Amino acid sequence: MKSRFSLCSVLTFAIAHLSCFAEESAFTQLFNGVDLTNFKQEDAKEFWRIENGVLVGENNAALKGNNLWTEKEYSDFILEFDARWKGTTERGVDTGIEMRKPKIQLQLGVSGSLRVDMSGSFYTGGKPAYPEEGQAKDAKNLMHPEGEWNTFRIQAKGSKFTCWINGKPASEYNDEKFIGPGPIGIQIHGGVVMKCEYRNMKISPL
């Protein structure tokens, strides 16, 4: 019985490992670190640039915002990326990842409406805009100090949206409203002086 149990344990581990490897190998680069391939580039150059393999977004002189949208639409997917941001006014930075139709956003930085850091929380635009069940209430303890890179993982599967911060579960939100496939967008919020940076962005359709 002992040897059979050991064999079973080894097989279970091997299957789990192979499953994980298969998932990881399915990732493709969304941002290639060189140019804006895979993204719609109309008006993008006014707000987005690439420096040393990093996608950098900033407001223009009129403090207008911008969304950098993917060419493709996605339904179920896993998206991974590193991000960091910096604000030069009291209001702070308001960036994030838009997805699906109608749009739902993973907030990064300070919410423009709440004036509170809601990083890792899901923004629906409804009432409430940040449903309590979709809030990353422990995000401050999961994230590195301000100005450092943090790794985010978003999974959109059916009506469920899940976020991990630096490898640890941060938030989960379930809503049948947001099931339509749509492009993925990276947001620069208008009306603030801010800078956001993204790198190592890859995606795996599910």
Domains of the chain: 2-205 (2.60.120.560)
Q: Which pLDDT score is estimated for 76?
A: 98
Whether the Cβ atoms of residue 104 and residue 92 lie closer than 8 Å to each other:
no
For 199, left (φ over 0), alpha (ψ -120 to 50), or beta? Answer: beta
**What string of DSSP letters covers the chain?**
-HHHHHHHHHHHHHHHHHHHHHHHHT-EESS-SSS-TTB--TTGGGTEEEETTEEEEE--TT---EEEEEEEEESSEEEEEEEEEEESSTT--EEEEEETBTTEEEEEEB-TTT-SB-TT-EE-SSSSSS-GGG--TTHHHHSPSTTS-EEEEEEEETTEEEEEETTEEEEEEE-TT--B-EEEEEEE-TTS-EEEEEEEEEEEE-
Give burial (CB, 10 Å; 0-12/13-18/19+) of 204: middle
> Would you mind telling me the total number of residues written for the chain in this entry?
206
Q: Which pLDDT score is estimated for 89?
A: 72
Write out the two tokens for 191: 């009306």
| Bridge partners, residue 81, by sequence | 152
Q: What pTM was computed for the model?
A: 0.87
Q: What is the 3-state secondary structure (H, E, C) of 161-206?
A: EEEEECCEEEEEEECCCCCECEEEEEEECCCCCEEEEEEEEEEEEC
Q: What is the pLDDT along the chain (206 residues), one digit of tens a residue?
A: 444 434 444 444 344 444 444 455 599 999 999 999 999 998 899 999 999 999 999 999 999 999 999 999 999 999 999 999 988 777 778 999 999 999 999 999 999 889 899 999 999 999 999 999 999 999 999 999 988 999 999 999 999 999 999 999 999 999 999 999 999 999 999 998 999 999 999 999 99
Q: Which pLDDT score is estimated for 24?
A: 57
Q: Which pLDDT score is estimated for 87?
A: 80
